[in-house]
Amino acid sequence: MLTDALRFLINIVFALIVYSALLRFIMQWLRAPFRNPLGQAVAALTDWAVKPLRKILPGFRGLDWASLIVALLAQLLWLLSLAMLGGAAISGPLAGALAALAVIELLKAALWILIVAVFLQALLSWVAPDGPLAGVLNALTFRFLAPIRRAIPPLGGVLDLSPLIVIVVAQLLLMLPVAWLEQAVGQLFR
């Protein structure tokens, strides 16, 4: 019972850090505005780790490498904490497997961020199209929705299927290549 409670707390704390740092990287990569409630929350949750790391690892080519490294290190610590809680002994093969799994987990997290952003944008476009999150959600999803909108225009000029297509494709990526990578890493480090 205590182990389950610790696992729950570890998952909550590290998920908050990993998803916030990864979202910060994605927002800066896609030039999403930070002057909104989401951007301010992400900055507040990650400044303590990202700002000191930027002194050592500055951005390059418009990418905030410090945010990505924070997300990767937090993901690695998350997996390591869960492995140690499960009684695993730290060894070279385990460290390699955890490093590979951390990258895969970040890929999964990025796909989930895309899915949630597309879903929220579609939902808020009906309820509050000019709300405070409209700009950031548009910036996060535009590069993924625009090519589909060019290929498949809205049906009847009203029904836009591009959010549904992006969500389905992201889910398929999670089910097929990402799941295959997880299995490959699992078998490689057995």
SS3 label, residue 60: strand
Tokens for 56, please give them: 């050592």
Instruction: Provide the whole-model pTM.
Output: 0.94
Tell me, what's the pLDDT at 186? 84
**Domain residue ranges of the chain, discontinuous segments joined by +:** 2-188
Tell me, what's the pLDDT at 36? 94
Tell me, what's the pLDDT at 88? 87
Tell me, what's the pLDDT at 37? 94
Tell me, what's the pLDDT at 187? 87
- In Å, what is the CA distance from 184 to each residue of 145, 165, 189? 31, 28, 9
Closest-CA residue to 165 (of 125, 114, 129, 124): 114
Tell me, what's the pLDDT at 189? 74
Give 47's strand partners.
none
Per-residue model confidence as pLDDT tens digits over 66-103: 999 999 999 999 999 999 999 988 888 889 999 999 99
Low-confidence ranges of the chain (pLDDT < 50): none
Tell me, what's the pLDDT at 62? 81
Burial of 66 (0-12, 13-18, 19+ CB in 10 A): buried
- In Å, what is the CA distance from 139 to each residue of 7, 28, 144? 34, 10, 10
Tokens for 128, please give them: 């509050």
